[in-house]
Amino acid sequence: MQILEIRTPKRVAFVPITSEVQSVVAEQGWRDGILTLYVPHTTAGITINENADPDVVRDIIYETNKLIPFEDGYQHMEGNSAAHIKSSVFGASATLIVENSRLIIGTWQGIFLGEFDGPRHRKLFLKFIPTP
């Protein structure tokens, strides 16, 4: 297992991490198999979406903040219930195929760490399972 350390820039952000994940795959010599990415935080998540047009990320943040506002009569004492809900919606893990030491993702896709309670230092666990 490998761990990436990611510093997030603000309260809500989608940090592109495709190149960092691909670098770990290459450095570790992982050839063919399944790669699981896991975010061990209750106020962060992971998603795969368009990485070509930055307006897509802006739109996702905008709409997510409308659907799950920061203030909405939540009971959680820490004041970050919206971040917990967003983390649950996006999820804590993603599974990718690795073939010939390359991530198999769509032409326009990228991997993003979703930050919902930042800025913070986050960890991303990478677990590779080789296939015959």
Q: Does residue 103 contact residue 35 with C-beta atoms inside 8 Å? A: yes
Distances (CA, A) of 46 to 6, 23, 34, 88: 12, 18, 17, 10
The number of helices, as runs of H, and strands, as runs of E, in the chain is 3, 8
The token duo for 100 is: 């010939």
Distance of alpha carbon 76 from alpha carbon 83, whole angstroms: 11
Output the pLDDT for position 88: 98
Residue by residue, pLDDT tens for the chain (132 residues) are 999 999 999 999 999 999 999 999 999 999 999 999 999 999 999 999 999 999 999 999 999 999 999 998 999 989 999 999 999 999 999 999 999 999 999 999 999 999 999 999 999 999 999 998
Q: Does residue 130 contact residue 30 with C-beta atoms inside 8 Å? A: yes
Report helix, strand or coil for 122. Answer: strand
Give Cα 10 distance to the centre of its chain: 15
Q: What are the structural domains, with CATH classification, of the chain?
A: 2-130 (2.60.120.460)
Q: What type of residue sits at position 83?
A: A
